[in-house]
């Protein structure tokens, strides 16, 4: 790549400077150069309860979104293979041009039926589901009231809207009500939350949020990326768990977790869905989901609906791991579902705890700023329905020992 040079002025700033001098990028390079990488660790196999990594070693995998264990299910693989042979490798066009197949329509219909909504709109990712919905909503005098800890894609999607973005303190109903009370009576409003917060496993206080939305006449959008296939009697997420799903205006989901694929969807009314299809950039100007991924998600959804015991097993596993971690002295952040977060603190301690767990045979996710506030790092653990009790008990002991060692300042021991 050529060096950035401006012959007219040596004082011109390099617009790539934020990319070239990003301190987080420097940290990642340092991790790689010292063979202590905590991110983008390559695997050599499917994300199973015990996964083989590029170093040839098998580890208990507590760091994947394959919540129902379907990414390696033969039925899902067979469906993807069949779609590949029938439809080819790519839709090769936008949904509004040539990119719609019978598979796309079937998945949208069955997702809408599962959620009890009038329509579903498929997108190429969960990120794009949020962007498609929120970027196309709101006029310039409207307001999006966004929980401060929502997924980065929701912050970006709200910023892409013509409305004004107002943040409120995480899971603080008083903070939300104060901002709702301050709204111009003529302004439209959308409250935006995660059903399950992806880095900590906390649930949004949806019963209270719904009541406030109804009191102040604003709409509610809930991202259920980590609730689909995990919470509720039928796996529809946190809103189903607390009995308010029918009072939510739009739900967004990711297909890359419980549905063992890639992509996203917006579940909402037919009129809103039509508006997304007519004018949302991620739908109109993006190539349609590839046929194999659509077939995989459709088959996984059918398995979720036909095998409720898989959902019950996942819920059992989440509670078991929480109990085992607490008993071992590594209490996770209070939450519910498949995501558990064990507090570690500073970035160096988080990295050391991650390495100690990894070297002892357990893969986790090291989470630090900006995914969480500075100094509030966690080891993020995620369970699958296909983990055994024995695997989870063993993993809890390994993680707890790693966290204790690093909390006590014995980082040399943790890295040994």
The DSSP line for 142-197 is: -EEEEETTS-HHHHHHHHHSSSEEEEE-TT-HHHHHHHHHTS-TT--EEEEEESB-
CA torsion through residues 268, 269, 272, 276, sign? positive
Give per-residue pLDDT as tens, 166-184.
Answer: 999 999 999 999 999 999 9
Give the pLDDT score at 35: 57
Q: What 3-state DSSP class applies to 61?
A: strand
Q: State the DSSP H helix or E strand holding residue 250, giving kind and residue range, or none if neither.
A: strand 250-254
The CATH code of the domain at 33-62+308-415 is: 3.90.1150.10
Q: What is the DSSP letter of 367?
A: E
Q: What are 64-77's pLDDT values in tens digits? A: 999 999 999 999 99
Read off the pLDDT of each residue in 279-297 and give the average, rounded to a whole number. 95
The whole-model pTM stands at 0.91
| Contact call for residues 341 and 201 (beta carbons, < 8 A) | yes
pLDDT digits (tens, 9 = 90+) for 312-352: 999 999 999 999 999 999 999 998 899 999 999 888 888 89
Can you tell me the mean pLDDT for 90-96? 93
Distances in Å between the Cα of 302 and the Cα atoms of 77, 78, 250 are 14, 14, 22
Given a contact cutoff of 8 angstroms between Cβ atoms, the answer to whether 149 and 197 are in contact is yes
Which segment of 18-22, 84-88, 273-277, 391-395 scores lowest on mean pLDDT?
18-22
Angle (CA) 261-264-269 rounded to 5° is 140
Distance, in Å, from the CA atom of 289 to the CA atom of 350, rounded to the nearest integer, reads: 36
- Topology (CATH level 3) of domain 74-306: 3.40.640
Contacts of 69 (CB under 8 A, 6+ apart): 48, 49, 310, 384, 385, 386, 387
Q: Give pLDDT tens digits for 197-251.
A: 998 899 999 999 999 999 999 999 999 999 999 999 999 999 999 999 999 999 9
Report yes or no: 239 and 206 within 8 Å, Cβ to Cβ: yes
The yes-or-no verdict on residue 264 having pLDDT over 60 is yes
Do residues 39 and 366 touch, judged by C-beta distance below 8 A? yes
Q: Provide the pLDDT for residue 43.
A: 81
- For residue 415, is pLDDT > 50? no
- All structural domains of the chain with their residue ranges: 33-62+308-415, 74-306
């Amino acid at each position: 790549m050529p060096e950035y040079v401006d012959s007219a002025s040596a004082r011109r700033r390099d617009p790539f400077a934020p990319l070239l001098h990003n301190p987080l990028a420097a940290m990642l390079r340092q991790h790689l150069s010292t063979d202590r990488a905590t991110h983008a660790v390559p695997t050599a196999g499917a994300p199973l309860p015990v996964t083989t990594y590029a170093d040839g070693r098998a580890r208990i995998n507590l760091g994947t979104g394959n919540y129902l264990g379907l990414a390696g299910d033969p039925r899902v693989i067979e469906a993807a293979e069949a779609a590949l042979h029938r439809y080819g490798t790519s839709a090769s066009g936008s949904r509004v041009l040539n990119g719609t197949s019978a598979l796309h329509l079937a998945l949208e219909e069955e997702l809408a039926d599962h959620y009890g909504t009038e329509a579903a709109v498929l997108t190429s990712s969960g990120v794009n589901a949020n962007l498609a919905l929120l970027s196309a909503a709101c006029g310039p005098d409207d307001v999006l009231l966004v929980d401060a800890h929502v997924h980065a894609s929701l912050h970006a999607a709200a910023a892409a809207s013509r409305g004004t973005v107002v943040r409120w303190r995480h899971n603080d109903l008083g903070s939300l009500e104060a901002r709702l009370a301050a709204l111009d009576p003529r302004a439209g409003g959308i409250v935006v939350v995660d059903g399950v917060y992806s880095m900590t496993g906390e649930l949004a206080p949806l019963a209270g949020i719904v009541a406030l939305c109804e009191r102040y006449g604003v709409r509610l959008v809930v991202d259920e990326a980590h609730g689909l296939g995990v919470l509720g009697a039928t796996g529809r997420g946190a809103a189903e768990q607390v009995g308010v799903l029918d009072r939510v205006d739009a739900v967004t989901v990711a297909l890359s977790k419980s549905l063992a694929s890639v992509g996203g969807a917006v579940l909402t009314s037919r009129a809103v869905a039509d508006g997304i299809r007519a004018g949302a950039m991620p739908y109109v100007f993006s190539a349609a989901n590839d046929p194999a991924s659509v077939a995989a998600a459709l088959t996984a959804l059918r398995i979720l609906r036909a095998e409720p015991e898989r959902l019950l097993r996942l819920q059992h596993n989440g509670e078991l791991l929480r109990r085992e971690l607490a008993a071992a002295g590594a209490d996770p952040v209070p939450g519910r579902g498949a995501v558990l977060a064990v507090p570690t603190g500073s970035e160096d301690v988080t990295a050391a705890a991650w390495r100690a767990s990894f070297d002892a045979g357990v893969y986790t996710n090291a989470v630090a700023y900006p995914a969480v506030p500075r100094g509030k790092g966690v080891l993020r653990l995620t369970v699958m329905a296909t983990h055994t009790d024995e695997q989870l008990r063993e993993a809890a002991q390994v993680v707890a020992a790693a966290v204790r060692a690093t909390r006590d300042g014995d980082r040399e021991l943790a890295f040994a």
